[in-house]
Amino acid sequence: MSTELEAVIGLEIHVQLATKTKMFCGCELSFGDEANTHTCPICLAHPGVLPVVNEQAIRYALQIAAALECEVAPRSIFHRKNYFYPDSPKAYQISQYDIPIAGAGRLGDVRIHRAHLEEDAAKMIHVGESGRIHGSGASLVDFNRGGTPLVEIVTEPDLRGAAEAAQWARLLRETVRQLGVSDVNMEEGSLRVDANVSVRPVGSEELGVKTELKNMNSFRFLQRGVEAELERQRALIEAGGTVEQETLHFDPRSGDLTSLRSKEEAHDYRYFPEPDLVPIVPTEEMLREAREALPELPAARIERYEGEGLSTDVATVLATDPETADYFERAAAASGAEAKIVANWVTGELAAALRQAGAETGAAGSKVTPEALAALVGLVAGKEISHGSGKTVLVALVTEGGGPATIVEREGLAQMAGDDGELEAIVAAAIAADPAAAERVRGGNEKAIGALVGAVMRETKGRADGGEVNRLIKQQLEL
Ligand SMILES: [Zn+2]
């Protein structure tokens, strides 16, 4: 079979909300505290207790809904998702089922199917060799995490490749981070990504059988896991087999995919409405507040920057780093040069100079003020110094701060003008010193001019403008 198969990927992202307290009780949220020190009868599921919903969690969920342009349900309800496992003392998780708080929306090119509120499970810690109660090890439960508010965001299957999926997940994380509703730390589990992966013949509208890759805790692993699974499915289908619906675990160390459960073993959660909680009915005030709390989000910033002439790559780099983006905007405002040129200096030359100096801060925390960068870009754009000298000045600004003019003056970097005779003399000397190259250029060999330009640049220590040198060489060779 040689039908070309395309990837069809949807993501489910669990976001831990950064509220002060848990979803249904007053226990403080904690990470890294001693186990089982943030618990109470409610999150330990003692008999007879009643959950009370955390209003801040609802407000945060509404902010996520607003950022993802989701329709907000005027009245959504909680359900009990029944399952039996030590991480859930109630033997059910309070979640939302058929009426989630947020319905259809979108982020960038990917449609959001829904977003709902739920509580996190407790954390299982497997110790000892086998990690089983009956082996040499044991499984312990830390209930500190149990009951942490979560928003689960589910996309439509709109992603068409592993790299695209990872890139979009980064955009989502940055969006949620900028909202300030979660610390989105993947290593600590505040952001967890599952991927639904299938393939289908190109041009087909039907969805293939999907598998679910669970709990990838970095974007790199997400990309590698999805790549591995796509490869497995393609090979299977090309060999005449069929994909079975199952849940998989990707081991980033070995690159192996192992089955956690098949369709037959899939849970029947027996959802039913949570009788102890009232429906969520957001007020007009809550909806307005959620909308008004929105900062300019990365997707909108990317679009605005593209409108100002920045490339998509540079716009994306800036929009996902708000501090540097604000820096760029201040520099662009202070500069007479095009925004695109300033942006390229910020993300290119300045970033390189900071790396080279081993700086631990980005542009915003560096000694180079936006005004100094704007002045420097102006000097280069106005051909008062060459681009190479501009980089030299930038390296000095990174370590000593101040303004570029002082450094240009001190280092004698002012560009040599073509009309004061000095540059003409150097060009003439370069031609005289390399008659063979001059002859080749005269003979029509365009590339040979490089040797002459290089000689002039060495002599002027990069202070001459390359275009001007080219022009003078051709003029003197009477071309
Ligand atoms: Zn509690």
Domain ranges of the chain: 5-291, 298-383, 422-476
Render pLDDT for 215-248 as a digit per residue (tens, 0 to 9): 888 999 999 999 999 999 999 999 999 999 999 9
Ligand 1: distance of its center to the CA of 23 in Å? 9
Mean pLDDT of 441-452: 87
Which of residues 130 and 328 earns the better pLDDT score?
328
Ligand 1: distance of its center to the CA of 51 in Å? 9
Ligand 1: distance of its center to the CA of 126 in Å? 23
Mean pLDDT of 429-444: 90
Q: What is the pLDDT of residue 1?
A: 47
Q: What is the pLDDT of residue 133?
A: 53
Ligand 1: distance of its center to the CA of 436 in Å? 85
Ligand 1: distance of its center to the CA of 182 in Å? 20
Ligand 1: distance of its center to the CA of 154 in Å? 27
* Most confident among 356-365, 367-376, 430-439 (mean pLDDT): 367-376
pLDDT class for 347, splitting at 50, 70, 90? Answer: very high
Ligand 1: distance of its center to the CA of 29 in Å? 9
Question: Residues of the chain with pLDDT > 90: what percent?
Answer: 70
Q: What is the pLDDT of residue 355?
A: 93
Ligand 1: distance of its center to the CA of 86 in Å? 17
Ligand 1: distance of its center to the CA of 63 in Å? 25
Ligand 1: distance of its center to the CA of 41 in Å? 6
Render pLDDT for 243-296 as a digit per residue (tens, 0 to 9): 999 999 999 899 999 998 887 777 789 999 999 999 999 999 999 999 999 999
Question: Residues of the chain with pLDDT > 70: what percent?
Answer: 97
Ligand 1: distance of its center to the CA of 37 in Å? 10
Q: What pTM value is reported for the model?
A: 0.79
Ligand 1: distance of its center to the CA of 90 in Å? 13
Least confident of 89-103, 171-185, 398-412: 398-412
What does the DSSP assignment read for 60-109? HHHHHHHHTTPPBPSSB--EEEE---TT-TTSEEEE--SS-SB-SEEETT
Least confident of 99-108, 131-140, 219-228, 408-417: 131-140
Evaluate if residue 417 carries a pLDDT over 70.
Answer: no
Closest CA to 437 of 457, 427, 451: 451
Ligand 1: distance of its center to the CA of 42 in Å? 5
Ligand 1: distance of its center to the CA of 145 in Å? 10
Which of residues 118 and 30 earns the better pLDDT score?
118
Structure tokens at 82: 């029944």
- The Cα–Cα gap between 306 and 304 comes to 5
Please provide residue 114's backbone torsions phi and psi, each rounded to the nearest 5 degrees. Answer: -170, 165
Q: What is the pLDDT of residue 100?
A: 98
Ligand 1: distance of its center to the CA of 466 in Å? 69
- CB of 147 closer than 8 Å to CB of 24: yes
- CB of 110 closer than 8 Å to CB of 158: yes
Ligand 1: distance of its center to the CA of 277 in Å? 16
Which of residues 236 and 409 earns the better pLDDT score?
236
Which of residues 474 and 8 earns the better pLDDT score?
8
Ligand 1: distance of its center to the CA of 143 in Å? 9
Q: What is the pLDDT of residue 215?
A: 84
Q: What is the pLDDT of residue 78?
A: 98
Ligand 1: distance of its center to the CA of 89 in Å? 12
Mean pLDDT of 107-124: 96
Q: What is the pLDDT of residue 49?
A: 96
Q: What is the pLDDT of residue 337?
A: 87
Structure tokens at 438: 């001059």
Ligand 1: distance of its center to the CA of 43 in Å? 4
- The Cα–Cα gap between 116 and 152 comes to 5
- CB of 427 closer than 8 Å to CB of 419: no
Ligand 1: distance of its center to the CA of 21 in Å? 8
Least confident of 156-170, 296-310, 320-334, 448-462: 448-462
Q: What is the pLDDT of residue 359?
A: 85
Ligand 1: distance of its center to the CA of 20 in Å? 12
Angle between helices 387-400 and 370-381 (to 10 degrees): 160
Which of residues 131 and 237 earns the better pLDDT score?
237
- CB of 223 closer than 8 Å to CB of 239: no
Ligand 1: distance of its center to the CA of 30 in Å? 12
276 residue type, one letter:
D
Evaluate if residue 128 carries a pLDDT over 80.
Answer: no
- The Cα–Cα gap between 249 and 216 comes to 9
CATH of domain 422-476: 1.10.10
Ligand 1: distance of its center to the CA of 45 in Å? 9
Q: What is the pLDDT of residue 418?
A: 54
Ligand 1: distance of its center to the CA of 218 in Å? 29
